[in-house]
Structure 1
Amino acid sequence: ISKKVQVIYLWRHKSVIDQELLQSLPNLKVIANSGVGMGHLDLKLVASFGVKMANATHAVSSSTENTGMALLLASARRLVEGNTSILLYHVAISSGMEYCEAHFLGVEVTGAILGIIGVGSIGYKIALRAKAFEMNILYHNRTQRKEQEEQAVGTTYCKKIDNLLQQEDFVMVVVSLTPQTHKPIGKREMELMKPTATLINISQGTIQNRLVTALQTGVIRAAALDVTHLEPLPTDHTLLKLKNVLTTPHLSIKTEKATYVITEEAVENLLAALNGLPIP
């Protein structure tokens, strides 16, 4: 049966594509990935077998952009803590303990500075959403956007990432995991950020090891993460014990519409590759 296999469809990075598998599938032509990031794959190895790679760049954009803004807002206004506090309020009142609403004060989003690291199609649309909240937007990218594109969303380009980090109130990491973008935010970068800053990560999990220390020591105020190095995080992981961290289980593409469109785009990519056409 292995000789009949021409395509592989990966859903949520569960399958391992290694040399042994590729050698066992002599007629494999294309691998379709259910998402944008392909850091879990050895692309050079795949290419060495003459196999094409395709990802769902269009299908996941809207749901990922919305997740990024949702995390920013939820962290800024401490929505999860506020929800929990309703239960704590009743417990405190019934036990005669003091309950203080000031413990749940959040920070303003309107007028705040948002720094976006990685302004491709997803990062650009996040800037568009942030503009609706009247945020001041800075961005760092390998290449600067066209002037009319910057003006359309009111962004300012920072050629050096340090300039962005020193000014922002919120930093959102929106770069796919590649050898060039591996570990975009390290200890040095976090120490450049304001102690009142919040880090939002919707793209890669390589940040979390340095992040724990920064959050514990007050280097930055808070973090909101949809992506972690281990998914799901172990129940005893330090990040899950910190009050200034909001974590979600990679929800960025988990909507009914996104799931359907991802599959639809994957099928289009697979059919194009099988028919010798450019992958859309």
Structure 2
Amino acid sequence: MSEAKSELPEVIVVGRPTIFKFYDEELSKKYRMLKSWESSLALENYICKHGQSVKAMICSPSHLGIQISSSLFRLLPSLRLIVTTSTGLDHIDLVECRRRGISIASAATLFSEDVADFAVGLLIDVVRRISAAHRFVNNGLWGQFPLGSKVGSRKIGIVGLGSIGLKVAQRLEAFGCTISYQSRNKKPVPYPFYHDVYELATNCDVLVICCALTDQTHHLINKEVLRTLGKKGVIINIARGAIINEMELVQCLEEGEIAGAGLDVFENEPNVPKELLSLDNVVLTRHIAFLTEDSMRAMYELVCGNLEAFFLNKPVLSPVLDD
């Protein structure tokens, strides 16, 4: 290792965040990045070997399968900052961070525009049967094709009216859709508010899942909610897969209890239920709603800004927990 390299601030990187596929070289010029995936050692062994003096961590979102919890914190006695490249925080033990005085910086609202656009795109695809029509033509067919339905006539229920949910609402309102929502708290917005997701489903024919994954929202969307949505109902999920009971969703789709689904996230990624693959009324994507060239550049700048602020003893740019 060169002397200049050894003088750079150390940052341990857990889980190979997507940003490193695009900005690995740039990040490595600014910091001595200890990349766990480049080692043959198991993660805990790698951290035990390299992490004693490390003060900052960059970590992946939860769908990449690594939990940032007390078992790792015990191996990182000097850790004072976690920079996560996601909006969701379900992969980080927040209580333990508070106890240990570890700050967290997240992606905050960085991906909201892109994810909202993607949610609307999934809905249009499902109800207008765009992907199904593509497969139809791709198979050499040019006959009668099943009709889709109008987007603008839909009654949209948004589960979780945070930054992403609000942007979804604004976009679909422009299509002429009727908007209502369910959230932890009532918001200062003109849309009808429902305390209960069942009540929301009763009054809607589309549910767009935008909430965080917590103990309270795990399997929030089950067969009872889906059946309440009705046979013309559509569900869109750009949040976290485990918010929906996936097997019950499959059952409702196969039995015609709802009309269709657009899913960017799954309960046990990268595993997708094989039953979904053969359904023509389902659109599937691989957790890419947040991924654009623009969002990755913005994420790189935010990660660098958070790390720079931390190492200069300044407030981080996108804090979740204060010191």
TM-score under structure 2 length normalisation: 0.76
- Mapped to 1, the partners of 2:265 and 2:194 lie a distance apart of 25
Question: Unaligned 5+ residue runs, structure 1?
Answer: 93-98
Match in the other structure for 2:248: 210
Match in the other structure for 1:64: 115
Do the aligned residues in 2 keep the contact of 1:272 with 1:279 (CA within 8 Å)? yes
Change (3 A) 1:136 1:255: same
- Mapped to 2, the partners of 1:257 and 1:226 lie a distance apart of 19
SS at match of 1:4: coil
- Mapped to 2, the partners of 1:230 and 1:241 lie a distance apart of 19
Equivalent residue in structure 2 for 1:11, among 56, 60, 72: 60
RMSD: 2.0
SS at match of 2:180: strand
- Mapped to 1, the partners of 2:197 and 2:70 lie a distance apart of 37
Equivalent residue in structure 2 for 1:118, among 160, 172, 180: 160
Counterpart check, 1:74 vs 2:112:
no
The structure, 1 or 2, with the larger RCO (C-alpha pairs under 8 Å, 6+ apart) is 1
Counterpart check, 1:102 vs 2:145:
yes
**1:121 Cα deviation from its structure 2 partner:** 1.2
SS at match of 2:221: coil
Letter in 1 for 2:252: A
Do the aligned residues in 1 keep the contact of 2:260 with 2:282 (CA within 8 Å)? yes
SS at match of 1:223: strand
Match in the other structure for 1:180: 216
Match in the other structure for 2:258: 220
**1:62 Cα deviation from its structure 2 partner:** 0.8
Do the aligned residues in 2 keep the contact of 1:167 with 1:194 (CA within 8 Å)? no
Identity %: 29
Task: For residues 151-180 of structure 1, give each alpha carbon's deviation from its aligned partner in whole angstroms, at most 9, with x where no partner exists.
Answer: xxxx22223322320121211010011223
**1:242 Cα deviation from its structure 2 partner:** 1.9
Aligned pairs for 1:78-157 within 5 A: 78-88=129-139, 90=140, 92=141, 100-103=143-146, 105-146=147-188, 149-150=189-190, 155-157=191-193
Counterpart check, 1:162 vs 2:198:
yes
Do the aligned residues in 1 keep the contact of 2:105 with 2:316 (CA within 8 Å)? no
SS at match of 1:203: coil
Aligned residues: 264
Letter in 2 for 1:179: D
Deviates more, 1:136-145 or 1:176-185: 176-185
Do the aligned residues in 2 keep the contact of 1:197 with 1:222 (CA within 8 Å)? yes
Do the aligned residues in 1 keep the contact of 2:160 with 2:209 (CA within 8 Å)? yes
- Mapped to 2, the partners of 1:186 and 1:272 lie a distance apart of 43
SS at match of 1:9: strand
**1:65 Cα deviation from its structure 2 partner:** 0.7
- Mapped to 2, the partners of 1:192 and 1:269 lie a distance apart of 44
Change (3 A) 1:140 1:20: closer
- Mapped to 2, the partners of 1:178 and 1:267 lie a distance apart of 28
SS at match of 1:46: helix
Deviates more, 1:7-16 or 1:129-138: 7-16
Do the aligned residues in 1 keep the contact of 2:114 with 2:289 (CA within 8 Å)? yes
- Mapped to 1, the partners of 2:212 and 2:154 lie a distance apart of 25
Match in the other structure for 1:95: none
Do the aligned residues in 2 keep the contact of 1:114 with 1:171 (CA within 8 Å)? yes
**1:276 Cα deviation from its structure 2 partner:** 5.1
Match in the other structure for 1:96: none
- Mapped to 2, the partners of 1:239 and 1:256 lie a distance apart of 29
Question: Unaligned 5+ residue runs, structure 2?
Answer: 1-49, 319-323
Letter in 2 for 1:183: H
**1:278 Cα deviation from its structure 2 partner:** 5.7
Equivalent residue in structure 2 for 1:230, among 247, 254, 268: 268
